[in-house]
Structure 1
Amino acid sequence: MPVTLVEVAARAGVSPATVSRVLNGNYPVAEATRQRVEQAVRELDYVVNAHARALLHSTSGIVGVVLNDAADPFFAGIARGIQTAAAGTRRLSIICNSEGEPSQEFAFLDLLRGHRADAVVLVGAAPEDEEFRTESAARAKGLQTNGTRLVLCGRPAPSPSAPGDVVAIDNEGGARAITQHLLDLGHREIAYLTGPAGRTTTTARFVGFRTALEQAGVPLDQGLVLGGDFSRRSGQLAVQNLLAAGKRFTAVAAANDLMAAGAVSALREAGLRVPQDVSVVGYDDLPTAVDVWPALTTVHVPLEEIGRLAVELAFGGSGMQTTVTAPTHLVVRDSTAAR
């Protein structure tokens, strides 16, 4: 049978209320008393009953994290930041992988609401779809009614009135900066590899690329814009298709580092040198960016800091809809050169 709080109290020679105060840390207790209680907890191997605590205190100690792709190092980096910050508040992080499917995301939200999660953090781009936004706003209000704080990472709020905070990423600004870097090096024929169509991150990064070209007076060649899905393989296939079609380009700008790595692989297979023949840039500054040869010029996104900010907003925010933008910056390495 599990050890009870009453048994801990008896071992420590204090009341059950005193044990509860020590475990919750929400009431002053004499140091000698606290040490006796903690020793009794260790000796009896007592574990707090989370369900009982939730019923008593209207808190579960759970932070739900819903990711588009748990295997992607971009999402893993943010999840690491969330988990570390949540652990600092003595809360348990539960990671849910939606695989980018709206129906799965909504199912996880409903499950986390049923478990009375203290907070839910949604990480990753959202579909640019009115039905999805309407449904998301309804789920946000349901979570609020349940006492669960909602934070969105890397996606906008579904509506101005929807409850929840936002940790935004300056995707457009970062894409403008890295495109300007290529333009400053003299590149004018720049291939662009996009992410999945109809996703907020994909759109913002492409807008930044297009805006930089427009400001430089360089026309956008739609024949040099190919779709991908943020995977390494899609970047490799896109560049292979460009080469097979005989397209002329001196640089490749990929919407993330994984696709950029695939682009480098395809160029090498074709006997082209990076950056002497073709420059390549990515986005996100994942750990793999320095493992690619040559090391990848990219846009740094502070992934763990984004996770930490999400937890801060969840438990230290005003309760109103607040947006904090995580800055990005250009990281120049060896995969780009003057034309």
Structure 2
Amino acid sequence: MYRCAWQLRPIMAIQLIFYAFSFIPAADVYLAITPGRFFMPNYHLWTIFTFSFYNYSVFFLLSDLLTLFLLDILLSFYSWCEMLKFCAVVNLTTAFSTMCFLFLGYAITFDTELLFSEKICGFIPLLGGLTVVARQTMGGKLLVNFPLGNIRYKHIPFISVVLAALLASLGITGRVSFMMFATGILVAWFYLRFFQKHSNGIVGDLADTFTFSGFFPNHLEPPVAILANTTFNLLLRLKLCRKAPVISVKQPASVMSFTVNISEISRASDIGHTNNPAAETLNLHVSTDSSDLSTSANIPMISKGTTPSSSKENS
């Protein structure tokens, strides 16, 4: 706890206090989100502010404390305002999405336990979102080197979903926890991909290395890319996301290097003079006239009654 930033220590303290409240009977009704009680007729709307800090299991309490440690490490290069915005977007959006899934499940199965027995609480969605941050910042770096293949940071979300599904199937976590974790990954990627505003004015991260298909192993990328592109085109029509901007780069005109062969030019000019006698005669007259002018320009002025020698002496 002492290694975390001081801003995270009060959150850890609140989590420990809320975990102590979990031993009080029916505490989860007032601290966690219960889909059947969030809307009318109960209107437990305040649970939207308390569900993130509440946990009823030691396993989830430890996972939330781990989430805060990872939050301090992975988001250390963000401002605190941006970090809080990321946490709020991921956790709140996932909570409402999970409620929608449970209401949809109730509409299909008419199972009232989906509305009154399932609890939405903790930082589980944020833990899934941090795997996306690790994939974005350190995607190509090597994590573990196995004889059968290398595991890189970009594989963390996929491996985490597989482990979460295994824990849910064994009854350690539960279906709602798995749903929240997987939804948190999707929400975090969608936010970082299309909506996060950076200080330099760029919105989102539309790099080819941060595609959705890149979360999966290499042999699964092609079929996932087809499904992802189809979904992306549908979202474009619904105007829920945008295309990558096309940046036109104006390149300067290329300068072509060439070599002038002086001997070839002189030879060609000689051939041209030989084949054109009129031009040669004209050049001869021009050169003769110019030589006469230059000679006359060098003759000094001699006045009458003087000899050239006297003129030279007077000068």
Q: TM-score range by the shorter chain?
A: under 0.3
- Computing the radius of gyration over CA atoms, which structure comes out larger, 1 or 2? 2
Q: Counting helix residues as a fraction of each chain, which structure ranks higher?
A: 2
Q: Normalized per residue, which structure has more strand?
A: 1
TM-score (norm 1): 0.24
Higher relative contact order (CA 8 A, sep 6+): 1
